[in-house]
Structure 1
Amino acid sequence: MKLLVLATALGCGIVGGVFFAFSTFIMKALARLPAPQGIAAMQSINIVVINPAFIAALFGTGLLCAVLVFTGGGSEVPYARWAAIAYLVGTIGVTMAGNVPLNDRLAKLDPQAESSAAVWQDYVRVWTRWNHMRTAAALVACVGLMMGMPERLSENWGRQGPFSERSGGGRLEAPLRCRFGSACRHKPHRSESGPAFLRQPLSNSNQRDLVLVEEGIGLIQVRQISDHTAFQCSSRPSSLE
């Protein structure tokens, strides 16, 4: 499920980035050209953009969002369903209802006709407004999908990396990461030197105490304190229950 959410967020970010470029400088550059040149350039863009890479990014992301609407994305990404809806409605929906009809009308326009200049000016104004909407929707969806993922990724890394229970032979095994106030339910006590500690027994096969040292934010440096293994933890001990 996390891979699905990450892939969807990546797709939203890519599509949002493409549309962001049109909103911020491409359409402005085309509007500065003489009308016949601007119309011809945009007609060419609308033809070239229909390619496998862009179609896969736009509608492939939409397919992934549709899956998230039904699955919810899991408890680790609380806004996944709403983010997916934002992309489907605000990006795919706006594209099909707003930008595509304008592109179809532009494709029938003769760049050299005298009446085309006024049509082009109106096209640039309305098309860009729709594009702002679908850009915002794609980027909001990307942010919504990423909310909560850094924490989940750090926890997964901690389970596989050096922040785990030390067993025989110096090999690091079972998951170990103290998250004050949630995963950890141990009462703090203070040493004479001041820092707050948590003591937690290890497995039956290894009765050394695990010392968790509260200091700073982030994943955790390991060092030996006599017969203890010390881990710096990320939150304040006052949040412990």
Structure 2
Amino acid sequence: MPAKDELDERTKEAIRFFWTTRLSQQGKNMDRGVQNQGTRGAVTGGKQLDGFLEVLRWILLKNGVTEDEIFTSGKLELPGFYRPSKQWDLVVVRQQQSGEKRLIAAVELKSQVGSFGNNFNNRTEEAMGSSLDILTAYREGAFGDSAPSPWLGYLMVLEESPKSTVPVRVAEPHFNVFEEFRDTSYAQRYELFCKKLLLERNYTAAAFLMSNKSFGPEGNYGEPSDDLTMYTFVRSLVGHIVGS
């Protein structure tokens, strides 16, 4: 395991890359005269989370995974049960001595900046669907009948702003929502969501980071929950890799 200080510095670099890439993409769209609603100009540019892929690649290489076992671009498709396949953001596949391939790990990276009301349900549905799809495919032998369960990771970066941290009213036209969702902000809902993903074993580990647009380019970020930190996320991944 890397020292916490070293992991924190690399995470700051990933946050810096996230914000500077977004700003750069928005500027390029404006220069080209492309008019995108809200922050869609940055979203459609993609690649903002590549800094986190580099952090995870660094961790994997330090713990015995080889370059040719790590996929962060191209060959990211994994079979599903409800659909033919899905592209993950990072995949680790190891060739066994028997010649068979083994899926070691798969990671989903997501972010949300603005449009909290519109996109919260989309993000949560995507994450639940991806987990259900791959775990059911695993159960049905898509990765080998005797293959150990792969490590699944989910990482979310959320913009810290008044709109993401103020309590939001819930609609209850017929039945009451669960009590823990009352008087919660979107940030709190994402935290609850990630914790429930782990509670129900949808993912092996989850990380939830928040960063303010004004200070993010400096690398500033926060971790609202001790259970969802980058260190906890990485420690779980390393434990799985070492034991594989």
TM-score (norm 2): 0.24
Q: Which has the higher helix share?
A: 1
User: Is the radius of gyration larger for structure 1 or structure 2?
Assistant: 1
Where relative contact order (Cα < 8 A, 6+ residues apart) is larger, the structure is: 2
* More strand by percentage: 2
